[in-house]
Structure 1
Amino acid sequence: MNLVDLSWRNMKRNFRLYTIYFISMLVGVVIYFTFSGLTFNEDVVAAIQNKENYKMVISIASVIVFLFIVFFILYANSFFMKQRRKEFGMYLLYGMKERQVATMVFFETLFLSAISVSSGILIGGLLSKFFGMVLMNLMNYNDDISFAFPLEAILSTILLFALLIGIITIQSYFNVRRVQLVELFHAKEKMDKPFKFSFGLALLSIILIIGSYYTITLSGDTDIWKEHKKETLIATTVALIVGTYLFFRQFSGWVLQKMSYSKNYLIGNKMLWISSLRFSIRGNTINFTFNSLISAVIIFAVGFIAVDYAVKADVVKKEYPNHFAFSTQDDETQKQIEQIMNDSHPIIGHETITGIQSEKIPNRKTFFSYPEYYTEEFYLFPESQLNAIVDLRGVGEKVDLEGEEAIVLTRGLDEPTKYKSPLPELTVLADHTFRVVEKIRYPLLSVPTSPSEESTGPQPSGLVISDEAFASLKENHTLSSYEIYQIKDPNIANDVSRKIYDIVMKTEGSYYSAYVDSYSLNTESSSLVLFSVAFFEVIALFALGSVIYFKQLREATEEREHYAILRKMGVDDKEIKKIIRKQLLFVFLPPLILGLVHSWYLLYYAVILIIKDLPSLTTIIFSVMGLYVLTYVIFYVSSTSIYYKIISGKNTR
């Protein structure tokens, strides 16, 4: 029998042990190929407006995904190498050389990788339509996406995973070289003694966690966060990390210790699973702490980005309500622009507004919280024109002004304000002063944009005055006119925007702003980030769950003899399964609960309380948490099954 045959027989013989390893690599290939495939999918690329930005984000995400996969698979490979040390020792005892054992492992890895890569590319290609549609849906595009197996994506996947196989082979070789024949003569490693737990440290863990939660609840306008933000943030973070570590190291052990002193400790199977857990607390503390903290960070990050995505789309609509707004052109140019719109996006509304530009007014702090975001000149518009725009947009409230009354127009950064007597005065023209009755959040003219960047200058400072006042002033001042259009399907009008922008900006000093320019840059970018981070969450949670999973498989191997003794003592399989379920429930449940509670406090006080008017907010957050719970449930169910098969001797051969 040659090494290839031996490698193939080993794979079939250890199939159940290799299942999670195979699944890990398969998931990695599918996710990487999905990202790589989306980069070269012609349907997706054609639908994306900012193609260079899209390719850059997807490429960066692909690299991050691959690096995460590398570290995770190396961890999985290290686990399997440790599980098979005695097997390798036997090969060496029978006369095989280290190089031959390493070659055998290489062939095993090659077989497994070939199956994983080919299956992953096939599954990834079949899922490309689904993930492409998900991405299009996030961007609110309606383009059809087809199944795709781009040659570039296939080649990059094969090359990168060939590199990974090489790294795994080197790791496996060093693992084989570390195998000592003396290990064959040790039935098992020396067991740790039950760890002694301190009630004081157990109590300290709860105090630290509750204290950090309380400090988080104070975030916002409290003095401690205002005056000592950096120090408070560091102290809260340290308290949460130390509290979580002590919770698993001391508090959970103290609970188990107390349970072992209870009167009914010897009743049923409680003694068996509690004693086993008390021995494993020391070895599991770091894993549990790491899982809880990283899970909290992952859930918070995904929840925060998901909310940011939802909010950003809404903000763009509010801040850029004009589909197109630009300085009035001559009649011929105006007809050319309208023809460009109607060719692909029929015009559904049009208004022309005319304003008076004031001289520069440096001191505008009375009316603007951030005056640097607005032009120093004010643009005065009559109330009738504002009311016409309200009708055109179908959003906002009409105004009714008299005499020298005026309303300041602001953007989302400024809070709406109704002024009380005495009303603040604003002198915008050398010979004219207005009494400002109100400040409203209604951008008549939005921030200037261009198809290649979101903002090209400050937003025009808008002032709405009465029709009578405007009529008396317009004769003696220069007027500026602007065209405001509403069109069909404005979120996919990038090509139209580029053409109109090039025409309008031929005249120096012209104003131009388009909803689609900001929408594309903001919504596409936030959609890509959300799409990428959602995949990161899946990989990360899968990896974190696997860490606990692998740890339990190792403990199952070590405890096989203990369960064999229990069978000889008359404990049947049904009772053994109960013991395993209770033992693993205690392993999976605390990190799950603590991770959820950590993330909930972070999300509630950093997101939910701040953004109260987003209907889908709780749905987004609970969906993210639901995925986390589902991942752990799958690993728990799988672990109990594999654990039982290992201690029963049914996992191999």
Structure 2
Amino acid sequence: MSLLELTLRNVKRNFRLYSIYLFSMVAGVIVQYTFSSLMYNEDVLDALQNRDNFRVGSMIASVTVFLFIVFFILYANSFFMRQRKKEFGMYLLYGLTEKQVVRMIFWETLVICAVSLAAGVLLGGLFSKLFGMLLMSLMQYDQPVSLTFPVEAIASTAGLLLLLAIVISAQSWFMVNRLQLTELFHAKSKAEKPVRVSAFWAILAVLMIGVAFALIYSGKGSVVWQEYATPSLIVSSVGIVAGTYLFFRQFAGWLLRTIGRRKNYHEGNTVLWTSSLRFQIRGNTLNLSFITLFGAAIMMLMCFMTINYKVQFEAVGRNIPNDIAFQSLDTGTNRQVDDLIRSSEHGIRYHLTHEALTAEPLTSMDAAFDNPEYFTPEVLLVPEAAYNELVGIRGDDRKVELSGNEAVSLSQGSDFPETFAASETRSFAVKLGAGEEKEFFLTEKKDYAYLGWSTSPVESMIKKPAVLVVSDEAYSSLQGVANKKKFEIYGVKDAKNAEALSERAHAIVARTPGAYYSSFADVYSRQIEGSSLMLFSSGFLALVATFALASVIYFKQLREATDEKLQYAILRKMGVDNRQIKSVIRKQLLFVFLPPLALGIAYSWSIIKSYILESVSDIPELPGITWGIIGVYFLVYLLLYLSSANLYYKIVSRQS
């Protein structure tokens, strides 16, 4: 019998085991091909305004996806090889050499890779179209995505599989050559020893996690983080990492031992599901600790990217509140831009011409504007009436009422906007064009934009005009002693897709050096495409990482189910029925699946709530979005738990 015939016979005889491995390979190919094909899909590329950024971002994400797939498939192969150690021992006993066994494994791997490539590319093409449509939806583009099979994506996926076949063969060669023949026959008979536990270490684990949570929930504005940021970070990090390890190493074992000492321990099936768990703690500690911490990181990544994506829509509108705005120039230039906008497919919703007085600040800009380096050194004095008119058109509830020398600074992007009481008003002095000085009293530092960042189609955001809204009476009294600037402010239809219009309008305004120009479209495509790509890539990575991490538990439980078939066969002979066996399996697996899930959710939610959601509390739907992401993660693990319990029962119930 040739090695090829032996390979085909092995596949037929162990089809169940091969099917699990084949499913893992197909899943890896689908993920790799889906992501690779998006990078070469012309429909997606045609819709993007920033192809280069997309390719760079996709390349970085594809490398990460590749590493996760390699990890997942190699872990699946490790499980696959362990289940066949006895089989390899038989081959060596019958005279096959280690090289022949490895060559047989290589042929098997090539066959599985070929089948995986064909199935994965076909399914991956469908998923690629689906994910491409999702990406266009995130970017709010109406670009249709066709079903394509780029040659570059197929070639890169085939190269990945060839590389994996070589690595898997090398992994198998080391596995076969490292063990003695007797070890191959008795590989499954090695029992793990129970971990020695103590109440001290168990209590310490809970205390370390508790201290970490206390520091996290104290908030970034608390004294411990303001005064002792570095020690607090170290203590909380050590508490989470070391506390999680000790939780699974000591607290879980101590809890099982405590359950075993109860008087009613032998009642029901408690003794059945706890006894084997005590022997599995040593082998599961690192896996469960890693899954807990990495699972928390995955949820935090997804929540952060989703929040960032949501905030970007708000942020672009706040940073660039006007569809098109520019400094009023000569009559011919103004008319040229106006004709351009009116003749475009976008049209005009409204057009305002506002004026402002220019002034030089005498008081430090820090008194009125956070991060003054992002603002122009010149201050614009805008009358209350003009400001309120524009706010009314926008539909914002941000109008002001001022009198005398009162003023409001528009500190756009401020993390800490302030409203000053009558006894706490802040003085801000300016120098006007005729050398006259004027002192205003700030009643509020408002996180709001009147004109917004100056932009260009190439450089995106450049500088923010520093604006003081002053009372109408103060503005009227200064008109004769200050220089003026006028601004043309337009509202256009479908402003987010007005990149071409903005590029032409900017070219006209830019003929006058230093003239202010701002367009919503210049920033929207960059910001939204960037945040959409980050959300899409992180979601893809989270899906792959969750799948890979879940497989660690999944294959571990399948291996333990295979090893415990004899114990369950003995239980049946002792009179334990199928209903009780199913109950034992569910409780045993619940003890493995639930703690990593619960701890991971607790870690991620506490950090997100205390350090992300608190910073964007003005967007009320974000907590719901966060819980939705956590809910999806919970659902994935719930399905995995039910699937593992079902397959575990089938394995231990199957007759050898």
- TM-score, normalization: structure 2? 0.93
- The residue that corresponds to 1:323 in the other structure is 323
Distance 1:131 1:252 in 2: 41
- Aligned match of 1:30: 30
Find the aligned partners of 2:431 and 2:408 in 1 and give their Cα distance: 13
Q: By how many angstroms is 1:468 displaced? A: 4.8
Paired residue secondary structure (1:481): strand
What is the aligned partner in structure 2 of residue 597 from structure 1?
602
1:426 to 422, 426, 429: 429
Relative to structure 1, the CA distance from residue 338 to residue 122 in structure 2 (aligned partners, 3 Å threshold; closer, same or farther) is farther
Task: Confirm or deny that 1:542 pairs with 2:544.
Answer: no
Rounded Cα–Cα distance in structure 1 between residues aligned with 2:77 and 2:334: 67
1:70: Cα distance to partner? 0.9
Q: Which amino acid aligns with 2:323?
A: H
2:515 matches 1:510? yes
Structure 1 residue matching 2:431: 3-state secondary structure: strand
**Matched residue of 1:353: which SS?**
strand
Give secondary structure in 2 for the equivalent of 1:365: helix
The one-character-per-residue Cα deviations of 1:208-248 (angstroms, maximum 9, x if unpaired) are 11111111111222221111101110111101212111111
Secondary structure of the residue aligned to 1:446 is coil
Equivalent residues of 2:405, 2:474 under 8 A apart: yes
CA displacement at 1:396 relative to structure 2: 4.3
Matched residue type, 1:554: R
Counterpart of 1:455 in structure 2: which amino acid? M
Q: Give, in angstroms, the shift of residue 313 of structure 1.
A: 1.5
The amino acid across from 2:422 in the alignment is: K
Match of 2:338 in 1: 338
SS of corresponding position for 1:88: helix
Q: Show CA shifts across 1:71-112 (max 9, x none).
A: 221121122112211111111111222222112211221122
Distance between the aligned counterparts of 2:591 and 2:405, measured in 1? Answer: 73
3-state SS in 1 of match to 2:365: coil
What's the offset of the Cα at 1:401?
Answer: 4.4
Aligned to 2:149: 149
Q: Distance in 1 between matches of 2:439 and 2:530?
A: 42
Amino acid at match of 1:347: I
Distance 1:186 1:465 in 2: 86
For 1:153-232, list aligned pairs within 5 A: 153-183=153-183, 186=186, 188-232=188-232
Residue pair 2:28, 2:69 contacting (<8 A) in 1 also: yes
Distance 1:330 1:16 in 2: 80
**Residue pair 2:369, 2:409 contacting (<8 A) in 1 also:** no
Partner of 2:625: 620
What per-residue deviation string (whole Å, max 9, x for no partner) do you get for residues 290-330 of structure 1?
Answer: 11111111111211221122122212211211111112244
Matched residue, 1:452: 458
Q: Secondary structure at the match of 1:380?
A: strand
Contact map agreement 1:362 1:376 (CA 8 A) in 2: no
The residue aligned with 2:506 is: 501
Which amino acid in 2 is paired with 1:249? R
Q: Is residue 415 from structure 1 mapped to residue 421 from structure 2 by the alignment? A: no
Which SS does the other structure have where 2:364 is aligned? coil
Q: Which residue of 2 aligns with 1:4?
A: 4
| Cα drift, residue 171 of structure 1 | 1.8
Which consecutive unaligned segments of at least 5 residues does structure 2 have?
none
Residue 441 of structure 1: which of 437, 447, 457 is its match?
A: 447
8 A Cα contact 1:355 1:480, kept in partner: yes
Alignment-derived partner of residue 393 in structure 1? 394
Q: Give, in angstroms, the shift of residue 285 of structure 1.
A: 1.1
* 2:287 is the counterpart of 1:293: no
- CA–CA distance in 2 between the matches of 1:161 and 1:334? 61
Deviations, residues 399-429 of structure 1 (Å, cap 9, x unaligned):
4544544333221315142452585252331
Deviations 1:38-66 (A, max 9, x none): 22222222222222111211121111101
Question: In structure 2, how many angstroms separate the alpha carbons of the residues matched to 1:271 and 1:422?
Answer: 70
Partners of 1:406 and 1:434 within 8 A in 2: no
In 2, distance between residues paired with 1:572 and 1:442? Answer: 70
Contact 2:86 2:186 in 1 (8 A): no
Structure 1 residue 236 corresponds to structure 2 residue 236: yes
Counterpart CA distance in 2 for 1:193 and 1:467 is 83
One of 563, 569, 580 as aligned partner of 2:568: 563
SS of residue paired to 1:368: coil
Partners of 2:360 and 2:430 within 8 A in 1 = no
Equivalent residue number for residue 364 of structure 2: 363
Deviates more, 1:155-164 or 1:471-480: 471-480
CA–CA distance in structure 2, aligned partners of residues 617 and 578 of structure 1 = 39
For structure 1, which segment, 377-386 or 480-489, has the greater mean C-alpha deviation from structure 2 after superposition? Answer: 377-386
Check whether the contact 1:7–1:107 (CA below 8 A) recurs between aligned residues: yes
1:272 is matched with which residue?
272
Report the equivalent of 2:135. 135
1:425 to 1:530, Cα distance in 2 relative to 1, 3 A: closer
Return closer, same or farther for 1:574/1:381 CA change in 2, 3 Å cut-off: closer
Aligned pairs for 1:28-107 (under 5 A) are 28-107=28-107
Runs of 5+ unmatched residues, structure 1 = none
Q: Whole-Å Cα distance in 2 between the matches of residues 49 and 586 of structure 1? A: 50
Change (3 A) 1:553 1:607: same
Task: Tell me: CA distance 1:400–1:35, structure 2 relative to 1, closer, same or farther (3 Å).
Answer: same
**Which of 275-284 and 376-385 deviates more?**
376-385
Q: Structure 1 residue aligned with 2:483, among 473, 478, 484?
A: 478
TM-superposed CA distance for 1:362, in Å, is: 6.3
Q: 1:140 to 1:615 in 2, by over 3 A?
A: farther
Pair 1:629-2:637 in alignment: no
Aligned counterparts of 1:572 and 1:200: Cα–Cα separation in 2: 39
Partner AA of 1:138 in structure 2: L
3-state SS of paired residue (2:344): helix
SS at match of 2:354: strand
Q: Structure 2 vs 1, CA of residues 339 and 118 (structure 1 numbering), >3 Å: closer, same or farther?
A: farther
Higher mean C-alpha displacement, 422-431 vs 145-154: 422-431
Inter-partner Cα distance in structure 1 for 2:399 and 2:240: 52
Given the superposition, is the C-alpha separation of residues 102 and 403 from structure 1 closer, same or farther in structure 2, using an over 3 Å criterion? same
In the TM superposition, residue 432 of structure 1 has moved relative to its aligned partner by: 3.9
SS in 2 for 1:345: coil
Taking the aligned partners of 2:188 and 2:408, their CA distance within structure 1 comes to 82
Q: 1:47 to 1:361 in 2, by over 3 A?
A: farther
Query: 2:531 is matched with which residue: 526, 533, 537?
Result: 526
The amino acid of 1:207's aligned partner reads: L
Say how many residue pairs are matched.
650
Contact kept? 2:383, 2:471, Cα under 8 Å? yes
Normalising by structure 1, report the TM-score.
0.94
Residue 22 of structure 2 corresponds to residue 16 of structure 1: no
Structure 1 residues 387 and 191, CA gap change in structure 2 (3 angstroms): closer
Structure 1 pair 340–104 and aligned structure 2 pair: CA distance change class (3 A)? farther
- Equivalent residue number for residue 109 of structure 2: 109
Per-residue deviation, residues 361-387 of structure 1 (Å, max 9, x unmatched): 462232223322222211123333223
Q: Go from structure 1 to structure 2 and tell me whether the alpha carbon gap of 1:185 and 1:488 turns closer, same or farther (over 3 Å shift).
A: closer
Distance 1:402 1:195 in 2: 76
Output the CA distance in 2 between the equivalents of 1:615 and 1:562: 54
Q: Give distance in 1, aligned partners of 2:86 and 2:597.
A: 34
Q: Partner of 1:574 in structure 2? A: 579
What is the identity, as a one-letter code, of the residue corresponding to 1:150? P
The equivalent residue for 2:304 is 304
The 3 A distance-change label for structure 1 pair 187 and 477 is closer
Q: In 2 relative to 1, CA 42–334 (structure 1 residues): closer, same or farther, beyond 3 Å?
A: farther
Alpha-carbon separation, structure 2, partners of 1:234 and 1:398: 46
Structure 2 counterpart of 1:162, which letter? L
What is the match of residue 372 of structure 1?
373
Identical-pair percentage: 46
